[in-house]
Amino acid sequence: DTAVSQTPKYLVTQMGNDKSIKCEQNLGHDTMYWYKQDSKKFLKIMFSYNNKELIINETVPNRFSPKSPDKAHLNLHINSLELGDSAVYFCASSQVGGARETQYFGPGTRLLVL
Amino acid sequence: SQQGEEDPQALSIQEGENATMNCSYKTSINNLQWYRQNSGRGLVHLILIRSNEREKHSGRLRVTLDTSKKSSSLLITASRAADTASYFCATENYGGATNKLIFGTGTLLAVQP
């Protein structure tokens, strides 16, 4: 069973469009994250949610809006896509507290904005 | 920037040899983690070392941590072609209700059969 899943795996779209990426985890974790990995493999956190509450927002443009309907899901909606949004977006989850700090990553969504 | 740096950026070795990757970071930490990323895939957690630990082993992996120098190293012994991947260190500081990882720039390891 897939622990952290993302859809779609690939997303090719035109500038100016609005798109969403979905993430689900079946690990029972209470915290979920979105990361962006650019073409140089630089991986940077974007958002973190704990029990559906926004905890981290790393100065991401407000065109990016995460939504957490429940603690097992964290979706990412992007408005007015720009060329610079092209990257691989990774969802991750973890259980905060105790000794369980390991983050489990999804397979990534490869976004290409034309 | 809190971004850590890894050294070397790329490493090519023969199967059976050992591979050593280094990571330096800038802030005080609670723990440091190493992750592997195979081409086109997500990151997989390898090992975690806490700030009060100096060395940790897991199978063919050996991690050291020197908090005075703000550096860590990952040693993979008896490497295999399947170890070919990018390796990232990530530092963590507990803050509130979540744990935020700051990733290094990564080392691309190529193990030649």
Output Rg (C-alpha) for chain A, integer angstroms: 13
CB contact under 8 A, A55 and B92: no
Mean pLDDT score of chain B, rounded to an integer?
91
Q: How far is CA B42 from CA A29, A40, A59, A66, B76, in A?
A: 18, 15, 23, 20, 20
CB contact under 8 A, B98 and A50: yes
- What is the average per-residue pLDDT within B48-74? 96
pLDDT confidence of residue B25: 92
B22 Cα to chain A: minimum distance (Å) = 16
Candidate from A53, A56, A105 with C-beta closest to B43: A105
Residue A36 CB coordination number (10 Å): 20
Token pair, residue A47, equals 């958002």
- What is the average per-residue pLDDT within A29-50? 91
Residues in chain A: 114
Dihedral sign of CA atoms A26, A27, A33, A35 in order: negative
> Pairing mode, if any, of strands B61-66 and B71-76?
antiparallel
Give every CB contact of residue A62 below 8 A, 6+ residues apart in sequence: none
Span B69-104, pLDDT tens digits: 999 999 999 999 999 999 999 998 765 555 678 898
Q: What is the DSSP letter of B41?
A: S
Q: How far is CA A97 from CA A100, A113, B54, in A?
A: 6, 38, 22
